[in-house]
Chains A and B, each alone.
Chain A
């Protein structure tokens, strides 16, 4: 079956099977910034924005995303670079596998919540797991980024 996605601002046609997940559709079409971590709705590495909302692409059937606007880090490169600066400054990066998903979630958080509390920030990004850096440096980097965006 065929679906159309507005991928990073550009309408694109994809040939998919009914049991195909968006994660696989994107990766098959060279959007390899979208990472396949757990493939079981648990790690957040596959996060993308669908109509502006962060979602786990490993859990969204491609057929269901038909007609939606899908954003990966390539679509908001400038903002992601800015977020990455704060991560670099705080030493919040190591292997980088979780970064794409986390950066998209932080970008959405900044749009979604005005003056979030520490608890709200944690509840928002808790599904984006990191196995290297620990979370404290990431949390400080996120707070500094949000402060900068005010």
Chain B
């Protein structure tokens, strides 16, 4: 890894100026994957002095600074309370606390890591990203943006909805990436379903959700049809962890379990 300069930004304006003046300048999040990505960097821009490390409950929504660590996110009272704790539970299964004290929410989201156990449950919520300079988009829009952005992610906003959530990471140990992860959230008006680590990144199952949310009662037949719509409209793949067939089987099982779970009181 080649890094010529390290710069602790004193303002977002300064960070943005540095970021846009040279394509070899990059923002550092937690820095966990920096070593593995072996970048050639001119200036590494650090945001750790810009007060972006707070989780703030604003009443109607929760504001999460991009530099909040996974551990601080996991143990925050409002995050723990959300959806019966499914956001915290997902994070608590990522490596050990020494890892979660380094990795950041912003670094994970900005990196669009397909295996992320943070992004999958977040995507099942009404989550919005705030960038500098002035730009907002939903998390889903951002994940679908394929081009490199020169904006700086500063906050993630989660609308506070009452409801019940479910998250499951399929992995043999905590120190490996998810073979598949599933999040389901029921806000008592509609159910949202997300499947991630397919091994491609997390996606909302729009067709399956549309069908499911029109049903008056969730029977076994309805669950079968829901997961069939998932299979018909969602791409799964094979990699060193699992085959496409195995992932499809896992997804059917855990999506059904998730729906059942969020429907129980």
Contacts and interface: CB of A to CB of B under 8 A. Distances in A.
Interface of A: 1, 18-19, 21, 39-42, 44, 47, 50, 53-56, 58-61, 63-64, 66, 101, 105, 108-109, 123-129
Contacts of A55: 98, 101-102
Contacts of A44: 96, 98
B36 A54 contact: no
Contact of A123 (B36, B44, B46, B92): B92
Given A61-B6, A61-B28, A63-B6, A126 B101 contact: no
Interface of B: 1-6, 8, 28, 30-32, 34-36, 44, 46, 48, 71, 92-93, 95-99, 101-102, 174-175
Contacts of A19: 1-3
Contacts of A63: 6, 8, 44, 46
User: Dominant SS at the A interface?
Assistant: mixed
Given A18-B3, A19-B1, A60-B31, A127 B99 contact: yes
Contacts of B102: 41, 55-56, 59-60
A125 B96 contact: yes
Contacts of A50: 101
Contacts of B3: 18-19
Contacts of A129: 175
User: Dominant SS at the B interface?
Assistant: mixed
B174 A126 contact: yes
Nearest to B4: A18
B48 A56 contact: no
Contacts of B46: 63-64
Given A60-B31, A64-B46, A126-B175, A54 B101 contact: yes
Interface-central residue, A19, A21, A128, by most chain B CB under 10 Å: A19
Contacts of A128: 96, 98
Contacts of B35: 21, 39-41, 58-59
Given A18-B6, A19-B1, A108-B97, A61 B175 contact: no
A63 B93 CA distance: 29
A47 to B, nearest CB: 5
B106 to A, nearest CB: 15
A40 B36 contact: yes
A56 B31 CA distance: 11
Given A19-B3, A127-B98, A129-B175, A41 B93 contact: no
Given A18-B3, A60-B102, 4 more contacts: A58-B35, A59-B32, A64-B6, A127-B99
A130 to B, nearest CB: 12
A18 B96 contact: no
A54 B2 CA distance: 27
Given A1-B6, A55-B102, A61-B6, A42 B97 contact: no
A126 B92 CA distance: 10
A126 B95 contact: yes
A124 B101 CA distance: 11
A127 B71 contact: no
Contacts of A41: 32, 35, 95, 99, 102
Contacts of B175: 42, 126-127, 129
Contacts of B8: 63, 66
Given A18-B4, A19-B1, A64-B46, A126 B96 contact: yes
Contacts of A42: 95, 175
Contacts of A39: 35
Contacts of B31: 59-61, 64
27 contacts: A18-B5, A18-B6, A19-B1, A21-B35, A41-B95, A42-B175, A44-B96, A47-B98, A54-B98, A55-B102, A56-B98, A59-B35, A59-B99, A59-B102, A60-B31, A60-B102, A61-B6, A61-B44, A63-B46, A101-B98, A105-B97, A108-B97, A123-B174, A124-B97, A127-B96, A127-B98, A127-B174
